[in-house]
Structure 1
Amino acid sequence: MLPEQRIALDDMLLKMRAGRLTRRSFLERTLTIGLTSSAAISLLEACGGNSNSSGGNGAATSLFWTSEPDPSNAYQTLVDTFNKTLGQQKGIYVTWHQGPAKTDELLIQYTTMLRARSASTDILSMDIVYPASFAASQWTVPISDTQWPASERAKYLSGPIQGCTYQGKLWAAPLYTDLGLLYYRKDVIPSKPTTWDDLTSAASAVSPSKVKYGYVWQGDQYEGLVCDFVEVLYGYHGSILDGNDPTKVTVNSPEAKQALARMVKWIGTISPLSVTTFQEEPTRNIWQNGDAAFMRNWPYAYALGNDSTQSKIANKFDITGLPYGGSGTVGHSAIGGWNLAINAFSKNADAAWEFIHYMLQNDAQKQLALQGSRASTLQSIYTDSEVLAKQPLFAKLGPILKNALPRPVSPKYSDVSEAIQQNIYQALKRQVSVDAALSNLETDLKHITATS
């Protein structure tokens, strides 16, 4: 919801509660400011009843939540359930607003709103890479140990929590997660690889004799390349920034040189030269056509690959975690996912936390898994019998998620990401050497982290 929409809506709600605006006029005016008819009716329900009654009445605290798109409509289901249960008990009413499809457009909306110190949205959904930058700008409020004790946090995946942590404080709650996976052809590959050496050898053995390509992944110059690079880098026990000090650059290391050299050698051998143009969908299409032995992609490709109406390899593949190499002993998937944060300018921070806390609980997390196919942050969901019966992929994701790690956590993530993309891409295209690419990246990152 844009600031001008929230201002107009707040004014209408006040008039409704004071009896100065009719139901018909309220509905007409909400439509003119861009709200859907269902959202307007929901707000009417929130304004009904006596001023002294609890929840769903004129005394209720109205909250607005803006999120990324949810085609499953699980968010609306959960909001409706909250409003009828805990919201009624505590006098809180939540209205959900679905944001734009592109993350960068949603980020622009948030930035415009928060720079104006507006509270047009109380609860913000944000990508895993943004909690630190919002915290550094003082646009969100931290979640305290009193609100969410360590004993409760321990029930959730550590990687997503780490991604929401900046300077020792938690600035968002991990709603659901996502992670990179290695897909492999069971009918072509005798056993899943555990190291990058294993993968390279297996891919070389079957390509091009049995499949066109050995390994396909995301090598284009965009955010996906950051994910693919850090997964190889983390597997070699390397890093980009110091986990305890985001101003300390660690990328120009022997481990990073091994990781990047490995990726460069794939191109033109087990991976096609055109892999430097691949994003998720071109990679998936090649995979589903049966033209690759291995693929790196996200969980969404699992169900699609097993759909025999569109895939030539249905029931012929499996997934595993990303391999490791060099001095590494375990592979690490890059974490994606979305989180819930409280607008620092909202006057309803306590009520906002009540809703966020509700979204973290078992019932809500289970609903997200069943209706939205969202990878839960609550560990117990991965052993829930009902979830496993409907979403068998969850049995495979649980162990992989335990070793998943976030992309570099930095308040200047957008600039960090751009520097990684540019320099790593130049190495993949063999425009510069591996050593030069990492040296240049180190220089760029030191400049980015040192500037205010």
Structure 2
Amino acid sequence: MRIKRSMARRAVAVLGALALAGGVAACGSSDNNSSAGSKPGKLDGVGPITLATGKDTTGTLNSILDEWNKAHPDQKVTLTELPEDADQQLQQMVQNAKTKSDAFTVLNLDVVWTSEFAANGWVEQLPEDQFPMDRYLPPVIKTAQYFKKLYAAPYASDGGMLYSRSDLLKQAGIAKPPTTWAEMTADCKKVLKLPAGKGMSCYGGQLDKYEGLTVNFSEAVNSAGGQVVGSDGKPNVNTPDAKKGLDFLVNGVKDGTIPKDALTWKEEESRRGFEGGHVVFLRNWPYIYALMGDKKDSANKVAGKYEVSPLPGLSGIGKSSLGGHNLAISKFGKNKKTALDFIKWFTSEKNERVWLTKNSQAPVYGSLYDDPALQKQFPYLPTLKKSIENAEPRPAIVNYGDATAAIEEQAYAAISGSKTSDQALKDLQANLAKIVKNQ
């Protein structure tokens, strides 16, 4: 199940980033504090359940559910497909929770939604001793916790990677992908001098005004040694290091290193830009790896001609933003024992292998990244594992929805040229400080 990563989160303020930091901030409500000391409730009830998730665009999900349903005829899972757009998914899940509807049993939550649902008492705390906590990648565990208690099961992870035109790098005499922005720019200049590089730009990402811009901006800032929000939960974005990160994007658009079209790119538009031969390098998620291997697609100019590496940074390998999804049990759903059993089965290592092999979905089990057979099929796995292990959570602000909207507004203003980097960061610092003060 590949959920479209249009990840706009502004419909509802998301408390998620706090959980990504381990739930250590003491700025929650009294409900939050009671959650911190609570124990998992008894999950009773056996019978039919529903799985609420974004639209399945892979064609794989129903076959997985069929396997469960054949083995559990009295505990069948009904798929409830929500819209492909993540904003609308979140809105429907929140509405369902606020009305205490039992229409949804198991919820497929983006990692930045988990703690909002936990803090509001919309999902059940899960028994950690029934999940293989020691086999998960450490960063993905934090995304499923709120105040260090487990409220969801890690289901899919995500880390940004650099896609490179390996064929053109080879033609230009470049032996390996770049590890710094300066190396990437220098490599591009060599490639663009080739006949095959005529008309191309250097680098593309997701710079449209939506959640992907928050991801790309945060990655640039973190990869330059800066931070958007400090470990104390206070904004710290108006700094020289943060400016270096933002200026990587601003100057890239200004000098043509980044095509202006990238200001309208989300994940899929940027993938098509790379496939169409418009950029030498692309920042994107692992799900596109398998999609770009389709040699039957006449519009695809890169099949068999690309490789992946860690994101570059200012002075060395950069830092990805952490993505992914978790499965939770609705507080208001029926047959919660079945729901727990289903989640344990659905997120098992066996099924994680299926998702990886069929959809190049990033698994949550460290062992799958180290499997020689899987590495042969997906050479990027060691790179992806490193990306996830070194990834940074998105800014740790309780009112995450307001924060990401402010980031998108100011980052886009700077990248599009309507504000200077200095002014954008100054305004962003003030906006984030106001959001934190009012949380």
Q: TM-score, normalised by structure 2?
A: 0.79
Query: Is the Cα contact below 8 Å between 1:61 and 1:92 reproduced in 2?
Result: yes
Inter-partner Cα distance in structure 1 for 2:152 and 2:221:
26
- Deviation string 1:310-337 (CA, Å, 9 cap, x unpaired) is 32233222111111225xx542222332
Inter-partner Cα distance in structure 2 for 1:306 and 1:73:
18
Match of 2:207 among 219, 231, 234: 219
C-alpha root-mean-square deviation of aligned residues, in Å? 2.6
Query: SS at the partner of 2:342?
Result: helix
- Deviation string 1:7-26 (CA, Å, 9 cap, x unpaired) is xxxxxxxxxxxxxxxxxxxx
Query: Is the Cα contact below 8 Å between 1:141 and 1:343 reproduced in 2?
Result: yes
Which structure has the higher relative contact order (CA within 8 Å, separation 6+)? 2
Q: Provide the residue aligned with 2:126 in structure 1.
A: 143
Deviates more, 1:375-384 or 1:279-288: 279-288
Structure showing greater Rg: 1
Match of 1:265 among 224, 236, 251: 251
| AA in 1 matched with 2:321 | A
Please tell me whether residue 234 in structure 1 is matched to residue 222 in structure 2.
yes
Query: Is the Cα contact below 8 Å between 1:73 and 1:372 reproduced in 2?
Result: no
Deviates more, 1:295-304 or 1:358-367: 295-304
Inter-partner Cα distance in structure 1 for 2:223 and 2:82:
35
Cα shift at 1:172 = 2.0
Query: Is the Cα contact below 8 Å between 1:160 and 1:406 reproduced in 2?
Result: no
Inter-partner Cα distance in structure 2 for 1:102 and 1:216:
22
Q: Provide the residue aligned with 2:413 in structure 1.
A: 426
Query: SS at the partner of 2:234?
Result: strand
Q: 1:73 to 1:306 in 2, by over 3 A?
A: closer
Please tell me whether residue 322 in structure 1 is matched to residue 311 in structure 2.
yes
Inter-partner Cα distance in structure 1 for 2:59 and 2:166:
35
Query: Is the Cα contact below 8 Å between 1:360 and 1:378 reproduced in 2?
Result: no
Q: Provide the residue aligned with 1:180 in structure 2.
A: 160
Inter-partner Cα distance in structure 1 for 2:307 and 2:262:
22
Inter-partner Cα distance in structure 1 for 2:272 and 2:56:
24
Inter-partner Cα distance in structure 1 for 2:275 and 2:437:
45
Q: Provide the residue aligned with 2:66 in structure 1.
A: 80
Please tell me whether residue 200 in structure 1 is matched to residue 185 in structure 2.
yes
- Deviation string 1:226-263 (CA, Å, 9 cap, x unpaired) is 111112122123322234x5x42232233211111222
Match of 1:168 among 130, 141, 148: 148
Q: 1:429 to 1:310 in 2, by over 3 A?
A: closer
Percent of aligned pairs with the same amino acid = 31
Deviates more, 1:221-230 or 1:195-204: 195-204
Query: SS at the partner of 1:319?
Result: strand
Q: Provide the residue aligned with 2:323 in structure 1.
A: 336
| AA in 1 matched with 2:313 | Y
Cα shift at 1:125 = 0.6
Cα shift at 1:208 = 6.0
Cα shift at 1:395 = 5.5
Query: SS at the partner of 2:116?
Result: helix
Pairs aligned (count):
384
Cα shift at 1:375 = 1.7
Q: TM-score, normalised by structure 1?
A: 0.77
Q: 1:77 to 1:273 in 2, by over 3 A?
A: closer
- Deviation string 1:247-293 (CA, Å, 9 cap, x unpaired) is 42232233211111222111132122343233333333332232322
Inter-partner Cα distance in structure 1 for 2:432 and 2:118:
20
Q: Provide the residue aligned with 2:31 in structure 1.
A: none
**1:95-110 superposed matches below 5 A:** 95-110=78-93
Inter-partner Cα distance in structure 2 for 1:78 and 1:436:
51
